[in-house]
């Protein structure tokens, strides 16, 4: 919540100055007249932003970071069905953790806590230093590289254990690749993805006659006989 005070010749002028500074309208703030002013005395108006769902999200994530003793700043923006919180500042890297484990934990705790008692699910995404986009790019590059290896060498390729979010990225990255199939194996937290090359379809001969190298042959199942 943001609280400011504005002084002007009149209450209305002070109020308008405050709304302009906050970039909000009267429906978004609580306005308290501190001094009416008059006879050379300025009017004083206190404007307080109303507590919102965004404030709940920021307050919770900020509380977690404070308990972790991290010096960070938060930005928030609306996304479909919820909000995206971006962690910035000197200690933002510590909020990421090994392969995003700390970041995932913060996001998980925020979603569990902020959805308690709610009828409609509130989606919370937590990022830091653009980590999630960078991680997605790395995983997509890895998926394509390992798919190429699987097809070239005609072998199954097993990736390292990943969390559900990272596995989803890999599956989606190769979903349109017609040369391989992907599936997950194992149990959490050691569940991993296998990339397997698709075998070419076997084409068996028919009973129609045809010529090969000048020799008339006839197909019987998978075998061909000259006669």
Render each residue's pLDDT in the chain as its tens digit; 227 residues: 678 999 998 999 999 999 998 888 888 889 999 988 887 889 999 999 888 888 899 999 999 999 999 999 999 999 999 999 999 998 999 999 988 999 999 999 999 999 998 889 999 999 999 999 999 999 999 999 999 999 999 999 999 999 998 999 999 999 999 999 999 999 998 999 999 999 876 655 554 444 444 444 444 444 444 33
State residue 227's pLDDT score. 34
Domain extents in the chain: 3-49, 53-129, 133-197
Q: If we measure between CA atoms, which residue out of 55, 42, 2 comes closest to residue 24? A: 2
* Cα 6 from chain centre: 40
- Calpha distance 208→190 (Å, rounded): 53
The two tokens of residue 111 are 């979603």
To the question of domain 133-197 being in CATH 3.40.50.800, the answer is: no
State residue 179's pLDDT score. 96
3-class state of residue 4 by DSSP: strand
pTM of the model: 0.66
Enumerate helices (H) and strands (E) in the chain, giving the number of each. 5, 12
Q: If we measure between CA atoms, which residue out of 119, 135, 122, 125 comes closest to residue 61? A: 125
The two tokens of residue 62 are 């900020």
- Calpha distance 86→217 (Å, rounded): 70
The highest-level CATH class for domain 53-129 is alpha beta
Q: Report whether 194 contacts 170 (CB < 8 A).
A: no
State residue 210's pLDDT score. 46
Q: What sections of the chain are H helices per DSSP?
A: 11-22, 53-67, 101-114, 131-153, 164-173
Q: Report whether 53 contacts 122 (CB < 8 A).
A: yes
State residue 203's pLDDT score. 58
- Calpha distance 77→65 (Å, rounded): 18
């Amino acid at each position: 919540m943001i609280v400011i005070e504005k002084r002007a010749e009149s209450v209305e002028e002070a109020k308008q100055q405050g709304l302009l500074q906050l970039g909000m309208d009267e429906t978004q703030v609580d306005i308290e007249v501190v001094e009416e002013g008059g006879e050379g005395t300025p009017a004083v108006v206190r404007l307080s932003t109303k507590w919102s769902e965004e404030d709940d999200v920021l307050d919770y994530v900020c509380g977690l970071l404070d308990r972790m003793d991290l010096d960070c700043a938060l930005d928030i923006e609306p996304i479909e069905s919820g909000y995206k919180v971006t962690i910035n500042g000197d200690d933002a890297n510590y909020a990421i953790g090994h392969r995003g484990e700390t970041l995932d934990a913060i996001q998980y705790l925020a979603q569990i806590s902020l959805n308690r008692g709610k009828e409609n699910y509130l989606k919370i995404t937590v990022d830091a230093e653009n980590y999630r986009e960078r991680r997605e790019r790395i995983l997509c590059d890895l998926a394509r590289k390992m798919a190429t290896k699987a097809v070239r060498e005609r072998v199954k390729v097993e990736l390292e254990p990943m969390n559900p979010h990272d596995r989803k990225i890999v599956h989606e990255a190769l979903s349109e690749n017609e040369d391989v199939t992907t599936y997950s194996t194992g149990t959490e937290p050691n569940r991993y993805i296998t990339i397997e090359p698709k075998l070419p379809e076997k084409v068996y001969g028919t009973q129609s006659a045809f010529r090969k190298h000048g020799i008339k042959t006839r197909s019987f199942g998978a075998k061909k006989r000259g006669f």
